[in-house]
Amino acid sequence: MARYLILLTVALVQLWQIQAAEVCNIHCDGRDSTLATAIRDTLSVEIFSRKLTLKMADVENMGFGLIENGNPGDEVWLDRSFDGGISWTDGSRIGNSVIPSGSRQTQTLMFNVDDPSNTGIGALRVCGKAGDRPEIACTSWARSTVNAERPIDAAATAMMQFYSKEGLWKTTGWWNSGNCMTAIIDYSRETGSLVYRYAFDRTFEAQKNSYYGDFTNEYIDDTLWWGLAWADAYDLTGDYKFLEMAKIDADFAYSYKDDVCGGGLWWTDKMTYKNAIPNELFIKLAAVLHNLIPGDEKYLAQSIEVWNWFRNSGMINNENLINDGLTADCKNNGQVTWTYNQGVIIGGLVELHKATGDQYYLDEARKIADAVVASTYLNNANGILIEPCEHADCGGDAPSFKGSFIRNFGELDRYLPGRPYLNYLKKQTDSMYANGRNSLDQYSVHWAGPFDKADAASQHSALEAFTAAFV
């Protein structure tokens, strides 16, 4: 009788869980795990000698949990998250199962990883406890191999887990989200994947009225990051609304160019600092627009104008690396040579070479690229790219920097015959994959390891590295 009551209780709990939050994909939640066509052990954890294992059925895109070496009354269940493990419904144990009398183990029913009808990109973990003891143990998060077969696909899927209904990426900022958008566009172009193209229109429509509108705000570089994303989207899709937005953003940014320090764009609309990044971004966006718009003369002239000023501004130092900006008296301020300041101008020079055919631009790009590869400040002893802030705290912005560098560095490598920097690029991705990721294929800022924490900024940087090295 006691065993019957336990089994009845387990059945009722499982039924309630299925009805409370049922997700359907190939099959609906609550499928019998014995029907799985292939089972893969992913992660395990122990609690009081009980072993909890997360098992994944990749063909069905479902998972289930198993508890072994337990006692009657021990529990096992699954948690499911649709934002990379940031959150899940507290207390909603899907598939809760109790070891019945006379047994040492039990397993949950199968539950879906993804929720395609809601563009939900999921992750599962298994949790459990011993009898009436309060302690709970859980594995790390993991998912099936659906849309994650190769490291590049897994990195893209992990980044899209941070994507919100508002069209931005959780855990990171406004301009970083513009880089996330560019990363997913680049991934789509290089791999031919159509899986995440829904994000282009969703973000465009959801965010076009934010801040000053048309993806502009007080930071000129923020506006230009978004302008480059929409130019990239137009290049991939041919949808003119993206091209028109990129032009609006370029024109907005150029309106903050004046003759202070001989020319160049200001960093913000407060016009208190002239620095590298907005000028590099404008050089690139204007050249990209010229290359996309038949018969253009305006944007090419503006790009060359700002490049000529930038080249003579003093921000390019004797090592062919770019410092952050200028002092009040228009001298190189000697501040950090952030990776992204090296990368964006490389991409801009590649676009100027495409526009003009002038070998000079390509030679300048290679000087900066070679300086980065040779730098013991920007690479560790094993030749792995590092951000100067990694020994301390990179904050919210800098985790995006290496992604911006490697994207543009990769554009140069693909543009040159024989891909001369491909070995360097592959060295980065090999190190990241071996040392800098977790069980959900999330990457931290440390490409040489160790993994510390995940966020969308670090993730888009990792994805850009895989895309740059993609062959």
Residue 90 pLDDT? 61
What count of other Cβ atoms lies within 10 Å of the Cβ of residue 9? 13
Residue 20 pLDDT? 47
Residue 4 pLDDT? 41
Strand locations in 83-218 (E): 94-98, 106-107, 111-112, 123-129, 137-138
How far, in Å, CA of 156 to CA of 322, rounded?
A: 30
**Residue written as tokens 């198993």?**
66
* Greatest Cα-to-Cα distance within the chain, rounded to the nearest angstrom: 90
The pairing of beta strand 75-81 with beta strand 62-68: unpaired
Residue 13 has pLDDT above 90, yes or no: no
Each residue's pLDDT tens digit, 142-197: 999 999 999 999 999 999 999 999 999 999 999 999 999 999 999 999 999 999 99
Instruction: Please report, rounded to a whole number, the percentage of residues in the chain having pLDDT higher than 90.
Output: 93
Q: What is the mean pLDDT of residues 112-141?
A: 96
Residue 91 pLDDT? 59
Each residue's pLDDT tens digit, 21-49: 689 999 999 999 999 989 999 999 999 99
**Residue written as tokens 């190189």?**
332
Question: DSSP for 145-182?
Answer: STT-SSHHHHHHHHHHTTB-TTSSBTTS-HHHHHHHHH
How far, in Å, CA of 176 to CA of 261, rounded?
A: 29
How far CA 147 is from CA of 39, 144, 191, 443, 456, in Å, comes to: 17, 8, 12, 17, 18
Residue 383 tokens, joined = 């030749």
How far, in Å, CA of 355 to CA of 296, rounded?
A: 10
3-state secondary structure at position 254: helix
Any idea what DSSP says for residue 99?
Answer: P
**Residue written as tokens 């204007």?**
286
Listed in sequence order, the residues at least 6 apart from 192 whose beta carbon sits closer than 8 Å to its beta carbon are: none
Contact 220, 274 (CB under 8 A): no
Each residue's pLDDT tens digit, 86-114: 988 765 689 999 999 999 999 999 999 99
Backbone angles phi, psi at 377, to 5 degrees: -85, -35
Q: Which fold has domain 151-468?
A: Glycosyltransferase (1.50.10)
Residue 12 has pLDDT above 70, yes or no: no
How far, in Å, CA of 45 to CA of 228, rounded?
A: 45
Each residue's pLDDT tens digit, 335-381: 999 999 999 999 999 999 999 999 999 999 999 999 999 999 999 99
**Which run of H or E residues covers position 245?**
helix 240-254
Contact 101, 1 (CB under 8 A): no
Residue 313 has pLDDT above 60, yes or no: yes
Give ranges for CATH 1.50.10.20 in the chain.
Answer: 151-468
Contact 184, 157 (CB under 8 A): no
Residue 450 tokens, joined = 């160790």
Query: What do you get for the CA distance between the two ends of the chain, in Å?
Result: 63
3-state secondary structure at position 408: helix
Contact 38, 25 (CB under 8 A): no
Each residue's pLDDT tens digit, 374-422: 999 999 999 999 999 998 889 999 999 999 999 999 999 999 999 999 9
In 3D space, the residue among 442, 409, 443 whose CA is nearest the CA of residue 426 turns out to be 409
Residue 5 tokens, joined = 């009551």
Q: What is the mean pLDDT of residues 426-451?
A: 97
Residue 295 tokens, joined = 């018969």
What count of other Cβ atoms lies within 10 Å of the Cβ of residue 24? 11
Each residue's pLDDT tens digit, 316-339: 999 999 999 999 999 999 999 999
Residue 444 has pLDDT above 90, yes or no: yes
Each residue's pLDDT tens digit, 48-72: 999 999 999 999 999 999 999 999 9
* Cα 203 to the center of its chain, rounded Å: 15
